Amino acid sequence: MEIRRIDHVQLAMPPGREAEARAFYSELLGISETPKPPNLAVRGGFWFERGSLKVHLGVEADFRPARKAHPALLVDDLAALVASLRAAGVAVRDDEPLEGHFRVYVDDPFGNRIEFIEPNGSGCGDCDTPQM
């Protein structure tokens, strides 16, 4: 037996905030919404997918955001993403350096922590930290 990779990440969201989910994941991050199978769609929530990137949101009536546990999403041009996030009013937090990577954290509209990470040397020339 061998576990090969993560198929998708599921985060929780509170009921009734569908517009915020679409605005953040689809419009701001550019991850397209994919229809859920009918038997799962009745539960609410969303699937946002592009190629092998799959972020699913499930509705929880007693929702509590994941403030420590988080997905880390590998990005190209972290500085441009940070600029887009800030322009949209999303608070971006730096964290301790991780050797070989630039990284930041944000909270989705529901308070779930998300890490965006980029290997050093991509889109930043010879700088030590991205110009954010």
DSSP-derived 3-state class of residue 108 = coil
Mean pLDDT of all residues in 63-78: 96
CA 49/CA 43 separation, integer angstroms: 18
> Are the C-beta atoms of residues 13 and 21 closer than 8 Å to each other?
yes
pLDDT tens digit sequence for 28-68: 999 999 999 999 999 999 999 999 999 999 999 999 999 99
Q: Where are the domains of the chain?
A: 9-119
CA 41/CA 75 separation, integer angstroms: 29
> Are the C-beta atoms of residues 79 and 123 closer than 8 Å to each other?
yes
Task: In the chain, count H helices and then E strands.
Answer: 3, 8
Q: Which residues partner with 72 through β-bridges?
A: 115
pLDDT score for 132 = 56
Architecture of domain 9-119: Roll (3.10)
**CA-closest candidate to residue 20, choices 65, 82, 52, 81:** 65
> Are the C-beta atoms of residues 83 and 38 closer than 8 Å to each other?
no
Residues 6+ apart with CB under 8 A from 23: 109
Q: Which residues partner with 57 through β-bridges?
A: 11, 46
pLDDT tens digit sequence for 78-88: 999 999 999 99
Identity of residue 33: E
